[in-house]
Amino acid sequence: MHNLPRLKSLSLLQLNHPPKSLSLLKQIHAQLLTNGLKSSSILAQLIQRYCAVSTPLSTHHAHQILTHFHYPNLYLFNVLIRSTNPRDSILVFSNWVSNSILSFDDFTYIFVLGACARSSSTVSALWVGKQVHARVIKHGFLSNLMIQTTAIHFYASNKDVFSARQVFDEMSVRNSITWNAMIKGYCSQKLRVCEHARNGLLLFKDMLVDISGLKPTDTTMICVLSAASQLGVLATGACAHGYVEKTMCAPDGDVFIGTGLVDMYSKCGCLESALYVFQRMEEKNVLTWTAMATGLAIHGKGKQALDLLEAMEVSGVKPNAVTFTSLFSACCHAGLVEEGLCLFHSMENKFGVEPLIQHYGCVVDLLGRAGHLEEAFNFIKDMGFEPDVVLWRSLLNSCKVHGDVVMGEKVGKILLRLVPEKGVVELSDASEDYIALSNVYASAEKWEDVEMVRDVMKIKGIQTKSGLSSVQSFCSHLLDG
């Protein structure tokens, strides 16, 4: 009879559909305390269930489990760090560093660095992660391959690809996960894309000739295809395709490699090859369909992209927010105004996808390109929430294209009011709005108004931003070199 409470708690925690109600979890927790049960395995499951509820109160209860012991339990601490959200993981670790005699192990550092990699707060996560990395070195865990690999992933995720490469270069032993982490780190950077993509491809070449004899995996090849698409180098992408066919698997049997090929061929200007790979694929997920829709949009095939949505629906794959962004782009490039508006209204009603700010922006762009400026203005006003400067700038640009000075002046004044009142942009960015309004006046040869805008810029100390250009052929030249 004494084992019944323990068995009941254990069965509840190990159900195929574990309890997600906080009140039920608290009942199980109370039952464990009442019966003096301190089994680490059961308490670890309870921590995981609390963290799965993902509320501040449930996280608090998960943390409280650690206080059931006279001495800190490292196993349960690691479970908590691994199971909770990145922000709480970092916070819990930071508190225990200063307030506990607990000696961390390699799993602790792996989980904390992983949390820093996933954190949405890049600045604080980078600072904490660097402190964790310093502790790793100080306490002699640097030889752990998994910690070093996680450190690479952490630095790359926080845009510090230089530090990631430094960790990589200092490693005496690497496995395929390590190589993939560094190559993926290069290919996932949003700034200096050409340079980082080229470095990713160069690292891939190093992997092929490395003395360790490690072979690229499917993850490696997906990153390589991504780098090729970013550079727009068809020859490199085709070579990667050939390597996959020859040494790994048939792309039509791997949904992720197949999707990478569709994306690469589309962005490298070879739509026929993208369609060929797409049609041969045995399995397609939402990413595959979205990549194909994006490819059709890039090449101005608006009607075909919309037909793809119908085929996607028939196949049983539900489109997501990114899919609709690609479809709206296709409508914009092809001038399909009515189709685009119909698509917008069907997003939530038919497909259950709530429109985001970027979808509203696509519709504004669609209407603006077609010259429906009044309709675009009213669409922004009727959104139901505060529009951002991107929407107004898009409409202002359309006013300039179509020479509508009256609407351009109205939109321009709204934009200029946003700067001091909302603080949406810095003064250096505000110059774009002043210049855009000035250009609207200039297109209508209203030179006095142009001079007035320039004078206001001088009074407020707003200077124009220097321009930058990026030449894709230069990237290709570097790659060939």
Q: Which of 137, 174, 190, 212 is nearest to 165 (CA)?
A: 174
pLDDT reading at 1 higher than 50: no
> According to the model, what pLDDT value does residue 376 have?
94
Length of the chain: 481
400, 369 contact by CB (below 8 A): no
Q: What is the pLDDT of residues 70-125, one digit of tens each?
A: 777 899 999 999 999 998 899 888 888 877 678 899 999 999 999 999 987 777 88
> According to the model, what pLDDT value does residue 285 have?
95
> According to the model, what pLDDT value does residue 468 have?
46
CA–CA separation, 362 and 324 (whole Å): 10
333, 305 contact by CB (below 8 A): no
CA–CA separation, 290 and 285 (whole Å): 9
pLDDT reading at 249 higher than 80: no
Torsion angle defined by CA atoms of residues 259, 265, 271 and 276, in that order, rounded to the nearest 10 degrees = -50
Q: What is the pLDDT of residues 266-298, one digit of tens each?
A: 999 999 999 999 999 999 999 999 999 999 999
Q: What is the pLDDT of residues 153-197, one digit of tens each?
A: 999 999 999 999 999 999 999 999 999 999 999 999 988 999 999
DSSP state of 417: H
112, 102 contact by CB (below 8 A): no
Provide the 10 A C-beta neighbour count for residue 343.
24
pTM: 0.80
Torsion angle defined by CA atoms of residues 381, 384, 387 and 391, in that order, rounded to the nearest 10 degrees = -60
Q: Write the DSSP assignment of 5-72 as a string of letters.
A: HHHHHHHHHT-SS----HHHHHHHHHHHHHTT---HHHHHHHHHHHHHH-SHHHHHHHHHGGGGSSS-
The pair of three-digit structure tokens given for residue 32, joined into one six-digit string: 């464990």
- pLDDT, the chain, mean: 84
pLDDT reading at 469 higher than 80: no
DSSP state of 214: P
Per domain, the residue ranges of the chain are: 188-282, 284-355, 359-481
